[in-house]
Structure 1
Amino acid sequence: MGSALFYCLLCVMGLFPALSFSQDDFVSSRATYYGSPDCYGTPSGACGFGEYGRTVYDGHVSGVSKLWRNGTGCGACYQVRCKNPELCADDGVNVVVTDYGEGDHTDFILSPRAYTRMAKSGDKAGQLFAYGVVDVDYRRVPCSYPGHKTIFKVHENSNYPNYLAIIILYQAGKNDVLDIQIWQEDCKQWTSMRRAYGAVFDMASPPKGPVSLRLQVSSSAGYYTWVEAWNVIPSDWKAGVIYQSDIELK
């Protein structure tokens, strides 16, 4: 086992929280892991989350394939537990989708930190890594970000005032963001932004003045709702800057 991996095992052991989910609605699949020098995620993930996608949930993140859903799956949380009773903890690990990835008939490609958290102990984690690919059960669970409301980040590729791209951070609950619309004051109507890729939505020639947004959100119960955030981004917005909102998806 390499020294970097050994360090990861030491730094995450003892962080196994007790989960209180029922045992219903799990789906059988397989999971593997990707290489990472510090065992966290990657800032270049296909969702467009950047550094947030590297460290969110203490780096317990995953790339997914069929759960990607053309980028709608970005930000969703899953409980993933491996099926080997000798090596694996009963509750497994909760991960956030931050990337797209295809493996050997796998639904999850986990960060090394997340893969380690599926094991019972550090010694068992080393054996788990030796397998490379393991059978797992998974299910969708609510994302939880205590102390955080929904944040809108102006993507680094934005170019004031001609091109605006945004991405949502701290997407709590079991919600999917299906559409983001921007308020056009001159014609008094909402206009949909384009899903550029992953969780990044953009618009050329955005309206002048403070930016108001509304999100079309779907819940696990199957219903849709609109959540509005008025004047959430100032008129002099800057690329790469994060703007706090008063909304909290649950």
Structure 2
Amino acid sequence: MASLLHPWVLGFFLVLAVVGRATAGGYSTPVFRATPWKLAHATFYGDETASETMGGACGYGNLFGSGYGTDTAALSSVLFNNGYGCGQCFQLRCVNSPSCYKGSPITTLTATNLCPPNWAQDSNNGGWCNPPRTHFDMAKPAFMKIAQWKAGIVPVMFRRVTCVRKGGIRFSFQGNAYWLLVYVMNVGGGGDVANMWVKGTKTGWISMSHNWGASYQAFANLGGQALSFKLTSYTSHETVIAYNVAPANWQVGLTYGCNVNFH
């Protein structure tokens, strides 16, 4: 049962399991809820085409192909959290600046990149992403939805919100038969991943270590086996199992989809 999700995306096998989070009465399926509004600042990088925002520290590659588009932002290291912030969704609105658009419109962003510290600049004058600042360096088209781009930097209110994704989680393969590196994309709910496991048809569940951004790795001989994955959300602690995501003849350089996602 194959379905092409994208020219570089191979379709999925049968996948279905939502485990949820353990409770005293068994398992529940927690739903991520919006957090309170907080104050931060926002800048932008790149131009109106957002070409400079493609790729990024999370490893999502071409953001149009992976479904994120131009509504994205690079996070300061405080929010990026060593890559565990990848995929998280935020609502932002410009406040307390003459450059804010009337009505203070709200835009929703996905975290796809890291805004690194610039220790050569003062934190209040150019070093906007220096710790402990909470900062969003937005793709320019996203910034232009809330403020005049000539402002350069504006104060914003932000909050974490549920990531609403179309379709299931996607797994982009790199590595080889003995070292599998997987980039996890299109994650719903909290949008993030805390832990990940892989299971071949000849193995039990193998814990994958966090590499960087939204990538996880397993040092194991998994060639010639259909692969299943188990993931836990960093935020909601919900767990999902995606059975038989990739066929036995899986290949690096391809992305495999499933029909399961976080809520």
TM-score greater than 0.5 by the shorter chain: yes
Provide the residue aligned with 2:69 in structure 1: 58
Provide the residue aligned with 2:43 in structure 1: 32
Q: Residue 230 of structure 1: which of 209, 230, 243 is its match?
A: 243
Provide the residue aligned with 1:93 in structure 2: 107
Q: Residue 172 of structure 1: which of 188, 191, 200 is its match?
A: 188
Provide the residue aligned with 1:244 in structure 2: 257
Please report how far the alpha carbon of residue 24 of structure 1 lies from its aligned counterpart in structure 2 after TM superposition: 7.3
Any idea what the Cα deviations from partners look like across 1:172-200, whole Å, max 9, x if unmatched?
122431111112555x5322112111001
In structure 2, the CA distance between the partners of 1:85 and 1:131, relative to structure 1 (3 Å rule), is closer
CA contact (8 A) 1:41 1:53 kept: no
Supply the distance in 2 between the matched residues of 1:54 and 1:111 (Cα, whole angstroms).
16
CA contact (8 A) 1:210 1:235 kept: yes
Provide the residue aligned with 1:15 in structure 2: none
- SS where residue 171 of structure 2 aligns? strand
CA contact (8 A) 2:89 2:109 kept: yes
- SS where residue 63 of structure 2 aligns? helix
In structure 2, the CA distance between the partners of 1:98 and 1:76, relative to structure 1 (3 Å rule), is same
Supply the distance in 2 between the matched residues of 1:29 and 1:139 (Cα, whole angstroms).
10
Supply the distance in 1 between the matched residues of 2:79 and 2:138 (Cα, whole angstroms).
14
CA contact (8 A) 1:31 1:106 kept: no
In structure 2, the CA distance between the partners of 1:195 and 1:44, relative to structure 1 (3 Å rule), is same
Please report how far the alpha carbon of residue 107 of structure 1 lies from its aligned counterpart in structure 2 after TM superposition: 1.2
CA contact (8 A) 2:45 2:53 kept: no
Please report how far the alpha carbon of residue 41 of structure 1 lies from its aligned counterpart in structure 2 after TM superposition: 5.5
Supply the distance in 2 between the matched residues of 1:51 and 1:131 (Cα, whole angstroms).
28
Supply the distance in 1 between the matched residues of 2:104 and 2:81 (Cα, whole angstroms).
28
CA contact (8 A) 2:34 2:159 kept: no
Query: Superposition RMSD on alpha carbons, in Å?
Result: 2.5
Please report how far the alpha carbon of residue 70 of structure 1 lies from its aligned counterpart in structure 2 after TM superposition: 1.2
In structure 2, the CA distance between the partners of 1:195 and 1:172, relative to structure 1 (3 Å rule), is same
Supply the distance in 1 between the matched residues of 2:241 and 2:249 (Cα, whole angstroms).
20
CA contact (8 A) 1:76 1:97 kept: yes
CA contact (8 A) 1:40 1:112 kept: no
Q: Structure 1-normalised TM-score?
A: 0.76
Amino acid at match of 1:70: N
Q: Structure 2-normalised TM-score?
A: 0.73
Any idea what the Cα deviations from partners look like across 1:196-236, whole Å, max 9, x if unmatched?
1100111223434111110122444xxx2321111111221
Provide the residue aligned with 1:153 in structure 2: 172
Within a 5 Å distance, the mapping from 1:1-250 to structure 2 comes to 25-36=36-47, 38-40=49-51, 42-52=53-63, 56-65=67-76, 66-84=78-96, 86=98, 87-88=100-101, 89-102=103-116, 103-104=127-128, 105=133, 107-119=135-147, 128-146=148-166, 148-155=167-174, 158-159=175-176, 161-183=177-199, 186=202, 189-208=204-223, 209-220=225-236, 224-250=237-263
Please report how far the alpha carbon of residue 64 of structure 1 lies from its aligned counterpart in structure 2 after TM superposition: 0.3
CA contact (8 A) 2:44 2:139 kept: yes
Higher relative contact order (CA 8 A, sep 6+): 2
Q: Which has a greater percent of helix?
A: 1
**In terms of mean alpha carbon deviation, does 69-78 or 168-177 score higher?**
168-177
Percentage identity across paired residues of the two chains: 27
In structure 2, the CA distance between the partners of 1:76 and 1:53, relative to structure 1 (3 Å rule), is farther
Any idea what the Cα deviations from partners look like across 1:1-46, whole Å, max 9, x if unmatched?
xxxxxxxxxxxxxxxxxxxxx9971010111011236235623300
Runs of 5+ in structure 1 lacking a partner?
Answer: 1-21, 120-127
Provide the residue aligned with 1:12 in structure 2: none
